[in-house]
Structure 1
Amino acid sequence: MSIFQTVKNFINDERGVTAIEYAVLGVAISAIMLALFSGQTGLGASLQNAFAQIVAQLDAAILAAQSQ
């Protein structure tokens, strides 16, 4: 087998391509999740604020019900 044929076979070999594609996809999803849930302005902060408001309203409702 000639060097040209060996190089051609190497270029056409796609056995490892799928694993690399999954790795790149995993890194992209991780970066998106990190961007969404990190920082003071991300989705994580918005969810924390929403749950804090829900807890405050439930506490107020429980106190009002207990005082009646």
Structure 2
Amino acid sequence: MLSLYTNLMIRLRSEKGATAVEYGIMVALIAVVIIVAVTLLGNNLSSMFNNVAGKVPVPTTAATGGAGL
């Protein structure tokens, strides 16, 4: 009976489960922060990239002659 009690107390003192829960909560919070950041900045970033893409000149193809490289 004493060994059963001792084994139970050792399992209750173990912090492996608590650590896993803490890591799970941290990952969930990081995911929420990323989702909120993408949601808030998504339209601004899209318009900024479209603005930059509009200013980049379209490349022209050079005429190819008979001389190969």
Count of equivalent residues: 57
Structure 2 unaligned spans of 5+: 61-69
1:11 Cα shift?
A: 4.0
Give every structure 1 segment of 4 or more consecutive aligned residues whose post-TM-superposition deviation is greater than 3 Å: 2-6, 8-11
Instruction: Identify the residue that residue 54 of structure 1 maps to in structure 2.
Output: 52
TM-score, length-scaled by structure 1: 0.63
Separation in 1, partners of 2:16, 2:28: 20
> RMSD of the TM alignment (CA)?
2.6
Q: Percent identity?
A: 21
Amino acid at match of 1:30: A
Structure 1 unaligned spans of 5+: none
Structure with max Cα Rg: 2
Amino acid at match of 2:43: A
TM-score, length-scaled by structure 2: 0.62
Matched, 1:44 2:42: yes
Higher relative contact order (CA 8 A, sep 6+): 1
Structure with the higher helix share, 1 or 2: 1
Instruction: Identify the residue that residue 35 of structure 1 maps to in structure 2.
Output: 36
